[in-house]
A and B are shown apart, each in its own frame.
Chain A
Amino acid sequence: MSARMSLALAMLLGLSSTPALAQDNAKLEARIAAYRHRVELLEDQNAIENLQATYGYYFDKGLWDQAADLFTKDGSFEYGQRGVYIGTDHIRRAMLLFGPQGLAAGHLNNHMQLQAVITIADDGLSAKARWQGMIMLARPGGNGIWGVGIYENQYLKQNGVWKISRLHFYVTAKTDYDLGWLKSAIPMEGESALFPPDAPPTEVYRAYPGAYIPPYDYKNPVTGKSLADIPEPPDSVVGRK
Chain B
Amino acid sequence: MLKRTLLAAALAALPSPAIAQDAAPNMTAEQRLDELDKRITRLEDMNQVEKLQRIYGYFVDKGQWTQLSELFADDATLEIGGKGIFLGKKRVLEYMHTAFGPDGAKEGLLVNHMQFQPIVDISPDGKTAWVRSRAFVMSIGGWGLPLYEDEFTKQDGVWKFSRESGPFTMYTSWKGWGHDALNNTWPDKFDPPPDLPPTTVYLTYPAYYIVPFHYPNPVTGKPFKVEPVGAYQAPPGTKEQEESRKVGQLANGTQPIAEPPKD
A residues near B (Cβ < 8 Å) are 12-15, 28, 31-32, 35, 38-39, 42, 45, 114-118, 130, 132, 134, 146, 148, 172-173, 179-182, 208-213, 216, 218, 220-223, 227, 230-231, 233-235
CB of B40 within 8 A of CB of A38, answer: yes
Other than the given A180-B142, A222-B70, 20 more pairs (CB < 8 A) read A13-B33, A14-B29, A35-B33, A39-B40, A117-B55, A118-B51, A130-B58, A132-B58, A132-B115, A134-B114, A172-B110, A180-B140, A209-B107, A211-B108, A221-B52, A221-B55, A222-B71, A227-B67, A231-B104, A234-B107
- With A220-B67, A221-B55 as known contacts, state yes or no: A211 contacts B114, CB within 8 Å: no
Per DSSP, chain B at the interface is mixed
CA of A42 to CA of B45, assembled, Å = 11
B residues near A (Cβ < 8 Å) are 29-30, 32-33, 36-37, 40, 43-44, 47-48, 51-52, 54-55, 57-58, 62, 64, 67, 70-71, 104-110, 112, 114-116, 138-140, 142, 158-160, 174
CA of A189 to CA of B130, assembled, Å = 42
Q: How far is the CB of B41 from chain A (nearest CB, A)?
A: 8
The residues of B that contact A45 with a CB separation of less than 8 Å are 47
Q: How far is the CB of B28 from chain A (nearest CB, A)?
A: 8
CB of A221 within 8 A of CB of B112, answer: no
CB of B112 within 8 A of CB of A115, answer: no
**Which of B43, B70, B105, B139 is A212 in contact with, Cβ under 8 Å?**
B105
CB of B67 within 8 A of CB of A230, answer: yes
7 A–B pairs (Cβ distance < 8 Å), ordered by A: A13-B29, A13-B32, A14-B29, A148-B110, A208-B110, A211-B105, A222-B160
CA of A231 to CA of B51, assembled, Å = 23
The residues of B that contact A38 with a CB separation of less than 8 Å are 40, 44
User: Closest residue of chain A to B36, judged by CB?
Assistant: A35
User: Closest residue of chain A to B68, judged by CB?
Assistant: A220
CB of A115 within 8 A of CB of B160, answer: no
CB of A117 within 8 A of CB of B67, answer: no
